[in-house]
Every structure is written in C-alpha cells, then in structure tokens.
Amino acid sequence: MKNKLIIIVLLTFGSFFTIPQNNVINAQTLKNHELCSRKRHFGDITVCLPVIKGMVECYSNPSIKKRMNNLYYSKGNTILGVYINSNVYKNASDLDKVQFGEFIFVYAPNQLKGININNSLLAKFSSATENYLKMSWKELKEEIDKKHDYLFTIKKPILLKTYMVGKKISISVLLIPLKVKDHTIINVEILNIMEIKHRLICSLYYTKFNGIESVKSAQKKNENMALKLVILNK
C-alpha cells in the first residue's frame, strides 16, 4: 500500500541548497491579519490557506480557475488554492492571457482522499522523489562550465535537491526546460509534499530561472509559504 501511495504522488508532479533555519517561522510570528486568506475543503478536512506577502489567492476567479483546471498537474487532483503576483492580478486587463511570472498551486491527490499520512510515510515520499529524477548541482555546474548555454539544451527536468523541513514538509527543487517556439526557457519549480491534518497536501511554487540566486530566492519564499500552511493547519 505504501509503495502504491508513493507512486501516486510521483505521478502527480511528473514533469514538474537548503535555506538556513533562522528563516523558519513559527506560530508566534504569524500576525492576526495573516492567519487565513481562504478555507478550502478536501474530503473530511478543511485547509486554511495563508496570506502570502506580494501575492493574492485567486482560484475563485473564473478566468484563473479555467486556466488552472486545464494545466496538466490539475488532473486527478483537487485544487485548493492558486496564488499569483498581486500587481499582476490587480493590473491585468485580461487574466485569460496574462503571463503570471510566478505562481503557487496548492492541491491534493484525489486518490489519497481520506487516507492517513504519517511522518514515516512522508519521509518515504521524500526519498522516492530524490531517486526518481536527480542531477546534482555539482554535476550541473560542471556541464555549464563546459558549455555556457548547456541549460538551454536540456530536454528533461533536473532535480537539484530534495530535503525535509521538520517532519511534515518534503521539498524538491527542480529546473524545468520549456520549449517556446524556436528557443528554450528554464523555470524553477519547487514541489512541497506536506502532511496536514494527517492528509497529504501538495503545492508547487513556479517562477523563471535567472541564475543560482533566483533558485535561492525561490526556495526562501517557497519554504516560508509551506511553513505557514502547515502551522496554520495544526
């Protein structure tokens, strides 16, 4: 049963460095106005979605909902929340076509609805994800040093690192190549697999790759979001 659950989680994100722990937030650092942006239901639990600085949760917007429901990683999942940049949301005249630049996608695999998840199983997910697809940053840097535009020739996702934050959050950091017309762009995609109220909840943080500092910045923002999500749903 455990192996089957691990396979299900890997399939839900298929193509999709550690932050110093002094960045970790706790319940006391969450101000009252930051508690709950929205609440969503998944089976027998209610998930509180946190307020995220500089972003707005907008899955209830018809245009956003239509776009997100058509994404490949919405298949077989319950979408709990979608965050995009506040300025993009506020100033966009056409949310059907605007480029988000970055977004956060919170979801839960339907096949795991009502199934209890514990720390041991979450650790197995983390280990399985790391073995599923990995190219170490050292190996990647060696290739880049040999060929400056190496990143733009890759054809499959590169898993930079998988690590645990506490016992309830597994984080996987990936670089994703995307073919656009006659060129390739690289995106950073960070997968969080979390145990929330004894259920498995996932989220993706997605932004453009602009050097290693952009990866570090994305990790910091993602990790704080994941911690908020777990802490608010204790």
DSSP letter string over 93-152? Answer: S-TTT---SSEEEEEEEGGGTT----HHHHHHHHHHHHHHS---HHHHHHHHHH-TTGGG
> What pLDDT, on a 0 to 100 scale, did the predictor assign at position 47?
96
Q: Tell me the per-residue pLDDT of 66-94, one tens digit each, with 9 for 90 and over.
A: 888 887 667 889 999 999 888 888 877 66
> What pLDDT, on a 0 to 100 scale, did the predictor assign at position 149?
53
> What pLDDT, on a 0 to 100 scale, did the predictor assign at position 195?
93
- CA dihedral for 50, 88, 13, 173, sign (positive or negative): negative
> What pLDDT, on a 0 to 100 scale, did the predictor assign at position 190?
95
pTM: 0.77
What is the C-alpha separation between 206 and 57, in angstroms, rounded? 15
Q: Tell me the per-residue pLDDT of 1-31, one tens digit each, with 9 for 90 and over.
A: 544 444 444 444 443 333 334 444 555 555 4
Distance of alpha carbon 194 from its chain centroid, rounded?
10
What is the C-alpha separation between 116 and 195, in angstroms, rounded? 9
- Residues of the chain under the 50 pLDDT cut: 2-24, 31-33, 137, 148, 150
> What pLDDT, on a 0 to 100 scale, did the predictor assign at position 107?
94
Chain position carrying tokens 């399985």: 128
